[in-house]
Amino acid sequence: MSTPLIFCRMGEVWLKGRNRDRFLRRLQANVQASMDAEIPGCVVRMPHARLLVHLPPGASVERAVAICRDTPGISLVSPAVEVAPDADAIEEAAAALVAARWAGQDGSFRVKVHRGDKRFPGTSTELGARIGSRILLTHGWPVDLTRPDRTVYVDLAVGAAFVSVERYAGAGGLPVGSTGRVLLLLSGGIDSPVAGYLAQKRGCDVEAIYFHSAPHVSEASRDKVVALARKLAPRQGGLTLHVVPFTRIQETIRDAGGSRLSVLLYRRFMYRIAAALAARRKLLALCTGESLGQVASQTLENLRLVDMVSDALTLRPLITTDKQDIMDLARRLGTYDISVLPHQDCCTLFVPEHPTTRAPIGLVVAHEAELAVDELVADALARTEVVAL
C-alpha cells in the first residue's frame, strides 16, 4: 500500500529569495549525510517544497525522526506514508495508520487536510469528512475540530499524497554550512557547546579551538572537550578540533606578576591565537559562549578589551541569555552532563579570588609590553594539534 518515510517541512529557508536553491541543496545534502552515518540506504528527496526521507526496510523510524528533528533548517518532522493522490487510497492509508498507531487509545480526533495541489478534486472539508467518518464508524472516537487529542494529517502534493498521525517540531534555523564557517572557542564549560549549537542552527559550519594547560589541567579536561565536540560533530558530518598548548603563556603571565589582570591577559592571548588560526583556516568569525555580566571577564569593559586584540568578527550567541536558560538548552542538547563533570578549565589557573571587572587599557598594555606577545602566539600556534572528529 505505502512506503514508510519521514516527511519534513523547511522553515526559514523559504525566505531566502534567489539563494533559496542553494540553501535547499545544502539541507538535502546535510540530511543525506546524517542519515548515511546512521541509517545507510536512506534516500532523501526534495519534491515540491517538501523534504522526504525514504527509509530502507527495517530501519528505525524513531531514530530517523530524531535525526531530522536535530537538523537545522527543518521546522517540522512527521513519519508518514506516501500514496497516490486519490481519495480511496488516502482513506485506506489513514484507516490503516490509525488502526496501527492509535489502537487502545481514547479521546477525540480530527482530520486536517493541506491542499498543496489545488487541482485535487473536491474540497479539503469533503476529504476530511470522508476520512473522519470512516474512523468514527470503526473506532467510535468523537470528532473535535478545535481541541482534538489527536490529528490525522493529509498533505496533497502534486503526484502524491502524504498521510501521517504524528508531528514533531524540528530545530528550525538554517542548514549547517549555508552561512559560513566559524571558529568556536570551546572550553569544557556549559556555555560554549551551547553557543556552538546556536551558531550551527544559524547555518554555521563550526571548527573548534581549545586552550589546554597541561599538566596544570588534567588530560580528563581535554577528554571532556573532545566529548563535547563530538556532540556537535554529527550535525555537520564531522568537526575539526584544534588543541592549543596554553601552559607556556599562562606561566609567563604568572611569572610576570599579572595578578588581578591575569584572566583578562589569558583571554586576550586566546583571542589573538584564535583570530590568527581563523584567518589561516579562512573561517569568517570567532564564536564564544560569553554572556554579558556572567563572570568578571564578561563585563562590557572587559569584552571590549578582548575584541581589541584583532579585527576578527566575534559571534556571541549567548550574550543576553540567562544562565538558567543556557543550562536548560544544554540539557536538551545532551551536553550538560558532560560539561558538569568536575574538571578544571585553564581560566581558573593562577588567578586571584577577585579578578578585575574593569581593567584599564593602559595597565593591560603596559603588562603586555613586558611579554614577548607575538613570539608566544606564534609558538602556541606552531605546537597546535589537530584532532579530526
Site residues (CB under 5 A) for Mg ion?
A: 187, 189, 345
Stretch that binds ligand ATP, among 22-30, 58-66, 285-293, 356-364 (CB under 6 A): 285-293
CB nearer to ligand ATP: pick between 277 and 346: 346
Cβ atoms of residues 77 and 8 within 8 Å? yes
Using rule CB under 6 A, residue 261 touches ligand ATP: no
Using rule CB under 6 A, residue 303 touches ligand ATP: no
CB nearer to ligand ATP: pick between 91 and 345: 345
Using rule CB under 6 A, residue 210 touches ligand ATP: yes
Least distance from ligand ATP to the Cβ atom of residue 321, Å: 11
Using rule CB under 6 A, residue 356 touches ligand ATP: no
CB nearer to Mg ion: pick between 29 and 319: 319
Q: Which does 329 bind (CB under 5 to 8 A by kind): ligand ATP, Mg ion, none?
A: none
CB nearer to ligand ATP: pick between 30 and 302: 302
Q: Where are the alpha helices (DSSP H) in 233-283?
A: 247-255, 262-280
Selection from 135, 171, 197 nearest residue 330 by Cα? 197
Using rule CB under 6 A, residue 196 touches ligand ATP: no
| E strands in 99-239 | 109-115, 150-157, 160-164, 168-169, 180-185, 204-212
* Residue whose grid cell is 579536561: 221
Least distance from Mg ion to the Cβ atom of residue 270, Å: 11
CB nearer to Mg ion: pick between 205 and 345: 345
Residues in the chain: 389
**What is the spatial distance between Cα 59 and Cα 354, in angstroms, rounded to a whole number?**
56
CB nearer to ligand ATP: pick between 164 and 302: 302
Angle at 387 between CA 385 and CA 389, to 5 degrees: 170
Q: Which does 210 bind (CB under 5 to 8 A by kind): ligand ATP, Mg ion, none?
A: ligand ATP
| Torsion from C-alpha of 193, 169, 95, 148, nearest 10 degrees | 130
Using rule CB under 6 A, residue 271 touches ligand ATP: no
Stretch that binds ligand ATP, among 22-30, 277-285, 288-296, 372-380 (CB under 6 A): 288-296
Q: Residue 388: CA atoms inside 13 Å, Cβ hemisphere, count? A: 1
Cβ atoms of residues 377 and 384 within 8 Å? no
Cβ atoms of residues 113 and 124 within 8 Å? yes
Angle at 75 between CA 72 and CA 80, to 5 degrees: 115
**What is the spatial distance between Cα 50 and Cα 47, in angstroms, rounded to a whole number?**
6
Least distance from ligand ATP to the Cβ atom of residue 15, Å: 30
Q: Which does 141 bind (CB under 5 to 8 A by kind): Mg ion, ligand ATP, none?
A: none
Using rule CB under 6 A, residue 346 touches ligand ATP: yes
Least distance from ligand ATP to the Cβ atom of residue 63, Å: 30
Burial class, 260, CB count within 10 angstroms (exposed 0-12 / middle 13-18 / buried 19+):
middle
CB nearer to ligand ATP: pick between 35 and 204: 204
Least distance from ligand ATP to the Cβ atom of residue 324, Å: 13
Residues 357-376 that bind ligand ATP (CB under 6 A): none
Least distance from Mg ion to the Cβ atom of residue 254, Å: 19
Using rule CB under 6 A, residue 190 touches ligand ATP: yes
Selection from 255, 263, 256 nearest residue 211 by Cα? 263
Using rule CB under 6 A, residue 289 touches ligand ATP: yes
Residues 147-186 that bind ligand ATP (CB under 6 A): 185-186
**What is the spatial distance between Cα 287 and Cα 179, in angstroms, rounded to a whole number?**
14
Whether cis (ω within 30° of 0) applies to the bond prior to 215 is yes
Contact positions toward ligand ATP, by CB under 6 A? 185-187, 189-192, 209-211, 288-290, 294-295, 297-298, 345-347
